[in-house]
Structure 1
Amino acid sequence: MRIRVTRDVTIPDPRKLEQFRRAPELGPSVLFFSGGTALRDTSRELIRYTHNSIHLITPFDSGGSSAVIRRAFGMPAVGDIRNRLMALADQSVKGNPEIYNLFTHRLPKDAENAALREELDAMATGVHPLVRRIPDPMRKLIRNYFYEFLDRMPPDFDLRGASIGNLVLTAGYLSNRRQLDPVIYLFSKLVQVCGVVRPTVNKDLHLAARLADGRTIVGQHMITGKESKPIPSPVESIWLTPSLDSREKVHTAIRNKVKDWIGRADLICYPPGSFYSSVEANLLADGVGKAVASNTCPKIFVPSTGADPETPGMSVADRAEVLCRHLSADAGSTDAEVLGYVLVDSKHGEYAGGIEKDRLKANGFTVIDGPLVTERSAPFLDGRAISEFLLSLC
């Protein structure tokens, strides 16, 4: 049985939001367990109210250009980290829009590798227009990372479709003794990131999933249904594995600093995104559930609208139960408070599998039903609306 101290709040709370807007540097610490791009717009809206949000990112992406980098260097994925850094960057700071344009640039997919190497050389020497527009000293710092990557790049490295931001972060990772935190910290300061972005774990691991039909699939890209056919059967369980060639289950624990971030959050959110490969994957490291349960702040699940190829036939109640079951198991108690609220829009949102409000309430969850899908965002959730609802509960 869950025991929760209840309080009356107005949601969204205009007075509280105005207070946060006037002093975002003093805003609350809202923590997100998120890996994908579904939270990008919410992050951009969030920095209007707080510069203290915490984003724990899944580094297990195994598709697209991330797969090329991971195969070449044996490292965690950095694409979602780069995406979130850019979403939280203060675009009003001189040079930041230019860095944003560079970091979000992708090399053409249909060009020859020799031509792509020439473009990368032009970035390193500073003659490429995207680099030339960046003011010093930021330009010199970024050019050094291009040289670093070119020095370490294998001769057969496939540059087609490569994200420039991912290449720069990779160079920083390799030059900092294969640690992500130093290069993330450096670029957070470089572009004035209004929040904290870190990987949940700093290890080269992959996702594996067992399906209800008995099949086991390995690799995040095989689970999402974006680069392969949608999974033919519901997911029964997921775990971490040491490589794409192994089904072996490995355990890794979150670091003390991650425990501290979870422990000091004013609100914890399981946000929209691919349910298993983005949200649930972030909870697989040992210690996550225990750290969440130890914090008495509100814990909120904001399910995605629309169809998620990873959750065929699953209602919102099904997904909430999966989250709660996994986190409670890690916390060591089924009575631990790991999830208290579920935020939905039953009027405008379309939830494949339905919501099942009565079942959510019977399981002890407080259902908050409000206008999360707006005219400008339909049929998707509105980032500003999500931000305002979450901040009102802090």
Structure 2
Amino acid sequence: MQRIQITHHINVPDPVKVARYRTAPHLGPRVLFFSGGTALKTLSQELINYTHNSIHIITPFDSGGSSAEIRKNFSMLGVGDIRNRLMALADRSLKGNPQIFDLFAYRFPKDAEPADLRERLRKLIEGKDPLVTRIHDPMRKLIRSHLRFFSERMPDNFELRGASIGNLILTGGYFNYSRHIDPVIYLFSKLVEARGAVRPVINMDLNLAAELADGSVIPGQHNITGKEAAPLASPIKRLFLTRERDPREDGLPPEEVEPPMVRRKVSDLIKTAEIICYPMGSFYSSLIANLLPRGVGTAIAEAQCPKVYVPNLGNDPEMLGMGLFDAVRTLLFYLEKSCSQSIARDRLLNFVLIDTKRGKYPTPLHLEKIRRFGVEVLDVELVTEQSAPYLDPNKVIEHVLSLV
């Protein structure tokens, strides 16, 4: 097989190309996203109408919500964002498995008594709970088995209130497969008929930490996003990895760890992409976090495809003090940092997709400065009357896929 390069003009969006994708999504392009679990939920639900071959590299550093209790007790990666993306890509039609989707999406009530929740978990394991009885064998036995693996390792003081059943199932499978997460993701991708591949960028128990411009250091993804804790009072200076989730009792800053090497199977997956998208979402904890492992930038550079950044609209608490130009510059900095050697920028980022007529972006924009990086700015319709003030997921998909 011989690889050749052909240069040609394309339309953005390309209605013929988009129509072809919608007609045969099982033959759709391998579009790859670096993200967390929440921001791309709606887009991913729409994406399966265009392609069943998308690739989602997910940050495993979630340290809030249901994932926090699991990580605290089992010293493992966060599985909440993985579950969230699997659910977004799931086939909810009768051809899929809507009963499994309902089970994975269910959360235990936050106001229930602990003893009642443990009894509910026991009934789920025994196959006596309605959420499980509706599922056909052998899938029902697989789910019960993984819940049993979880239950057998669950500490007496484990907090089940608000727990996601899907997270508990993935955790049980994680132990069933000797702390390997990929076999569990593969199994449950098949159970819910997920129309795309989902992988964590690394399989390690690490956390994010942000050094702020005022010199303070904030550990824990949940303390950075401005959602579960107060918004940051000072701009983020840099993002790094640590083993600590919360501020230390002695007041010392968290200890920084050397970024691990990206997993070979993830690196190989990145190289197969037909287009790579750095999408909207929490800028540091969802996007930049995926670029911290060593070798991610190298794999991106080796992928012979376009690379496009779709910035956030509105206010992202993590982008305090940053304009659009600052975001592009920061993205390029972390991409270059994760390369094993000096790489030309045009192998890391080619396009920025924006809608300045209908969208509100963090200022200053400095579009000419962005272009001086060798990055082409595509100012197109991404916000519709129905979606305003947010990005229209179908418009984003159609523009991104037209670049393939």
TM-score, structure 1 normalization = 0.95
What is residue 172 of structure 1 aligned with on the other side? 173
Q: For the Cα contact (< 8 Å) 1:123–1:131, is it kept in 2?
A: yes
1:6 and 1:365, CA in 2 relative to 1: closer, same or farther beyond 3 A?
farther
Partner of 2:338: 330
CA contact (8 A) 1:218 1:247 kept: no
CA–CA separation in structure 1 for the residues paired with 2:19 and 2:133: 39
Q: Which residue of 2 aligns with 1:393?
A: 403
SS of the residue corresponding to residue 217 of structure 1 reads: strand
2:272 is matched by which residue type in structure 1? R
Instruction: Confirm or deny that 1:319 pairs with 2:320.
Output: no
Distance of aligned partners of 1:94 and 1:140 in 2 relative to their CA distance in 1, 3 Å threshold: farther
Q: Secondary structure at the match of 2:385?
A: coil
Q: Where does residue 368 of structure 1 map in the other structure?
A: 378
> Aligned partner of 1:252: which letter?
P
Residue 381 of structure 1, CA deviation: 1.3
The aligned counterpart of 1:276 is 284
The DSSP-based 3-state class of the residue aligned with 1:300 is: strand
Who is 2:210 aligned against?
209
Distance 2:255 2:210 in 1: 9
Does 1:243 pair with 2:244? yes
CA distance in 2, matches of 1:312, 1:6: 39
C-alpha separation in 2, matches of 1:65 and 1:73: 13
Cα pair 1:242 1:250 within 8 Å, conserved = no
Structure 2 unaligned runs (5+)? 249-253
C-alpha distance in 2 between matches for 1:265 and 1:373: 26
Provide Cα deviations, 1:144-197, integer angstroms capped at 9, x if missing partner.
222221111111000111111101000000111001001001111112111110
Is the CA contact (8 Å cut-off) linking 2:224 and 2:232 kept in structure 1? yes
- 2:368 corresponds to which residue? 358
Partner in structure 1 of residue 349 of structure 2: 339
Identity of aligned residues (%): 55
Q: Please say if 1:105 is aligned against 2:106.
A: yes
Counterpart of 1:151 in structure 2 is: 152
C-alpha contact 1:93 1:192 (8 A) present in aligned 2:
no
Give the match for residue 118 of structure 2.
117
Look up the equivalent residue of 1:299 and give its one-letter code.
K
- In 1, Cα distance between equivalents of 2:264 and 2:36: 20
Shift of 1:136: 2.3
Residue by residue, what CA displacement relative to the aligned partner does 1:231-258 show, whole Å, maximum 9, x if unpaired?
A: 1111111111123353222220011111
Report how many residues are paired.
391
Deviation at 1:6, TM superposition (A): 6.4
- For residues 317-336 of structure 1, give each alpha carbon's deviation from its aligned partner in whole angstroms, at most 9, with x where no partner exists: 11111111121233222534
1:7 deviates by 4.0
Distance (Å, rounded) in 1 between the aligned partners of 2:307 and 2:353: 11
Letter in 2 for 1:346: T
Q: Matches of 1:378 and 1:60 in 2, distance apart?
A: 31
Aligned to 2:251: none
User: Cα offset for 1:356?
Assistant: 2.6
Aligned counterparts of 2:94 and 2:348: Cα–Cα separation in 1: 38
Q: Deviation per CA, 1:86-142, whole angstroms, max 9, x where unpaired?
A: 111112244621111111111111121111112212222222222222222222221
Hey, what does 1:182 align to over in structure 2?
183
Q: Determine helix, strand or coil for the equivalent of 2:33.
A: strand
- Shift in CA distance, 164/354, structure 1 to aligned 2, threshold 3 Å: farther
In 2, the alpha carbon distance for the partners of 1:254 and 1:55 equals: 15
Q: Counterpart of 2:53 in 1: which secondary structure?
A: coil
Question: Which position in structure 2 is the counterpart of 1:295?
Answer: 303
Match for residue 260 of structure 1? 268
2:394 matches 1:384 = yes
| SS of alignment partner, residue 318 of structure 2 | coil
Corresponding residue of 2:314: 306
* Residue in structure 2 matched with residue 31 of structure 1 by the alignment: 32
**3-state SS in 2 of match to 1:18:** helix
Match of 1:222 in 2: 223
Contact 1:58 / 1:278 at 8 angstroms: preserved in 2? yes
CA distance in 1, matches of 2:161, 2:283: 29
Task: Return the alpha-carbon distance in structure 1 between the equivalents of residues 87 and 390 of structure 2.
Answer: 21
Q: Please give the TM-score of this superposition, normalised by the length of structure 2.
A: 0.93
Query: Do residues 90 (structure 1) and 84 (structure 2) align?
Result: no
Distance 2:173 2:76 in 1: 12
Report what 2:234 is aligned to: 233
Which amino acid is the alignment partner of residue 300 of structure 2?
V
Q: Choose 80-89 or 255-264, whichever is displaced more.
A: 255-264
* SS of aligned partner of 1:37: coil
Query: What secondary structure, in the 3-state scheme, does the structure 2 residue paired with 1:33 have?
Result: strand
Relative contact order higher in (CA < 8 Å, ≥ 6 apart)? 1
Match of 1:51 in 2: 52
Aligned residues of 1:25 and 1:51 also touching (Cα < 8 A): yes
Work out the CA distance in 2 between the residues paired with 1:82 and 1:206: 18
Distance 1:94 1:23 in 2: 16
Aligned position for 1:141: 142
The AA in structure 2 aligned to 1:225 is G
1:210 and 1:236 in contact (8 A); partners too: yes
